[in-house]
Amino acid sequence: MTKLSGERRTIAIETTGFMPEVEGDALFVAALGAGKACPGLPMVEIGSYCGRSTVWLGAAAETCGTLLFAVDHHGGSEENQIGWEWHDPTLVDASTGRLNTLPHFEKTMSRARLTDTVRTVVGDSPTIASTWTQQIAMCFIDGGHARDVAANDYAAWNGHIALGGILAIHDVFTDPALGGQAPYEEIYLAAINGGKFADVSATGSLRVLTRVK
């Protein structure tokens, strides 16, 4: 498998986030494939957090000579809030007492020298999608895991993926004992059962699909 290497790999691994290396490598390969299948079209990431996965995606977008639009409200998902399992107090803005991952994300993009390739888009994913007019080569969905959030992300973005383009989904667990079911049921199954997408690969909790119609 082609892998991200060198300083950028080190930066990705050091960045706060939840993507294992092997899944990051699979995401990198998927993005390279999307760029080849849909040359010139941009890529979109839904849910960037501190930029760990964005380094893998951004590096692939740069290689393909295209842009990556990283969409996140940067206030953290439900599971990242105070009192929840995945809360990280180091990401709380001392002046507001609220989670704010944007400064951490921007620092990561600067360290990885990806500011010319990655376009930071701060806001609500479906709202941004509602005014989006361009086809995209790839959409990576790794946003909130509440059922309505996951369903809305898929509904908002799947139609923008070009024929032959890639839909990648993180945290897909078929067994409820391993994790929440929203990415699996509200995104993955919706994509497969809708007939517009077909499986390409599965690596850990990362599922990669291609648009077939």
Given 74, 145, 160, 170, which residue is catalytic? Answer: 145
Least Cα distance to 44 among 61, 28, 32, 29 occurs for 61
Least Cα distance to 7 among 48, 54, 53, 55 occurs for 55
109: three-class secondary structure by DSSP: helix
Beta bridge partners of 197: 211
Chain length of the chain:
213
169: three-class secondary structure by DSSP: strand
Q: What is the largest distance, in Å, between two alpha-carbon atoms of the chain?
A: 48
- What is the Cα–Cα distance from 22 to 11, expressed in whole angstroms? 15
Active site residue 104: no
Active site residues: 145
